[in-house]
Structure 1
Amino acid sequence: MARIDDRREHERFDLNASMVYAFHDSDLFYQARMCNYCKGGMCFMSDNALEPGSDIYIMMENFAPDAVGAEFYDGYLAEVRWCQKLIQESATDFLVGVKYYQTVIK
């Protein structure tokens, strides 16, 4: 059986960065932390569970336009593909995987 990494369409890059997201047609933004990204999507950690199939708008927070991963600076629309509950001693977080509606990295 192929490993999950072997089936990925795009190379993945680790990036621990602050970000915010809002549900489509909402101006209420939630804090989150990006874990990694690729040309087609990203994984981030959130305090909230997100329903797969939801449309969200993602923006990097306090992010320099010339930094690594600067292609996220303007913000992007994405679809939530999966959401996993992570139970830790201090808190419950959710790991969220999204797919961009438009490819971000050239």
Structure 2
Amino acid sequence: MVAVEQRTYKRYIYRAPVTYEYFRTNDYFGAVIHNHSMGGMCFETHYAVPKGVEVFIKITNFSPEASAPECRKGYHAEVRWCQERKDLEQPTFRVGVNFFEPVLL
């Protein structure tokens, strides 16, 4: 039997630099968006981020005239999963998050 992927929102491939912090710590780490949707995003970072923690993702190239996700200064989200990429020399993790409020694209 083939597993069917069930997602609430369509995902869009998107690459852009961001920073993220464990919510309200003001200690930011660099990352790159891999894809995004109205309900969340996937980003890559050099650090494992525990499932269930709240993060604030700050958009580096914020512009109110831009299309999503750069039309907002940042996103408050919960980490849903974190997977290490084994195909790279440097430790790299893909992190999937759900936004606390859906974003209109």
TM > 0.5 fold call: yes
Q: Report the Cα distance in structure 2 between the residues aligned to 1:65 and 1:83, rounded to whole angstroms.
A: 30
1:91 aligns with 2:101: no
| Aligned length in residues | 104
Aligned residues of 1:72 and 1:104 also touching (Cα < 8 A) = no
Q: CA deviation at 1:24?
A: 1.2
The equivalences for 1:9-88 within 5 A come to: 9-70=8-69, 73-88=72-87
Q: Report the Cα distance in structure 2 between the residues aligned to 1:15 and 1:23, rounded to whole angstroms.
A: 23
Deviations 1:39-75, CA, capped at 9 Å, x for gaps: 1100000110000000000111023332231455221
Aligned residues of 1:59 and 1:72 also touching (Cα < 8 A) = no
Unmatched 5+ stretches in structure 2: none
RMSD: 1.6
The runs of 4+ residues in structure 1 deviating greater than 6 Å are none
Deviations 1:66-104, CA, capped at 9 Å, x for gaps: 223145522111000000001234312000000001111
Unmatched 5+ stretches in structure 1: none
Structure 2 residue aligned with 1:3? 4
* Matching residue's letter, 2:90: A
Q: 1:72 to 1:28 in 2, by over 3 A?
A: farther
Q: Report the Cα distance in structure 1 between the residues aligned to 2:25 and 2:3, rounded to whole angstroms.
A: 39
Q: With structure 2 as the length reference, what TM-score do the two structures score?
A: 0.89
Aligned residues of 1:71 and 1:105 also touching (Cα < 8 A) = no
Where 2:64 maps in the other structure, the secondary structure is coil
